[in-house]
Structure 1
């Protein structure tokens, strides 16, 4: 009788252990969608950084000072890029971001009309930042980025141009 009771208790403990292991959370286990979410999070972060930097500089530089406006935009975004790169290392996500000159130049060509009927002045892509002349002032329109997101499962590389104005 005692032996039978011991077997019943042992089986109950085994069942409890199996249930515990199935419900347990492990921080190092990821689903496939986490990598895509991490890339979307990084892109959203860069959009906010671009918007904040351009908003702070609106109307601060004349068109002849556009190179200084680009430098200041990059200087304001660079610390945010460093913050992004350190943001999720503990959870196994590593970001690398850099300015993309080619993507910015292509965006300016595609999105800035030229010719006599345009509403605003010319656009210039400089060091990954697109600026436009508006009323003798420099307005930051967009910034091109290369974003790399690395997790333990994969590496996602994307190029994005984030508009600074809506």
Structure 2
């Protein structure tokens, strides 16, 4: 009887030693510090670009039907007003987890973009381009079309900070 108990004890020890690597591997499945997670917040600049791009595209779609060229200042104000909710969403999106977004309009980037990109000369297809308050608009058949908006974005995370200028060109 004593030999049988020792045999059972030896078999249990062998099974425990054999299962140890399986248990260790199972416990490692939840460990992710050495693996880059695949959510948007691990790429804060790309997250900001996505939010700003969607906001500008959605806002720009509604402007031509509502604003004539002689009322372009009101169109620019409307664009900025419509974008404010997207900017606030971005600014407050990850504060509780330590990511802070600061977003401002970049007026000089839109002025440079308008000078370099907007067509000029006698054979141009559309009218004048104007860059005001960080928004580029163009006269197209007497209507105001939004061509782009530029933002300065500063992102502060627990891993560091980023400062970028994000120009968003519309598909209009």
Q: TM-score range by the shorter chain?
A: 0.7 to 0.9
> Superposition RMSD on alpha carbons, in Å?
2.8
> Does 2:169 align with 1:163?
yes
CA distance in 1, matches of 2:35, 2:163: 19
Residue from 124, 127, 133 that aligns with 1:121: 127
TM-score normalised over the length of structure 1: 0.81
1:39 paired residue number:
45
CA shift for structure 1 position 147: 1.4
> Does 2:113 align with 1:71?
no
Residue from 142, 149, 160 that aligns with 1:154: 160
1:130 paired residue number:
136
CA distance in 1, matches of 2:154, 2:42: 12
Kindly indicate whether structure 1 or structure 2 has the higher relative contact order, using CA contacts under 8 Å at least 6 residues apart.
1
Number of residue pairs the alignment of both structures matches: 165
Gaps of 5+ in 1: none
CA shift for structure 1 position 44: 1.2
Structure 1: 4+ residue segments shifted above 6 A: 7-17, 32-36
1:110 paired residue number:
116
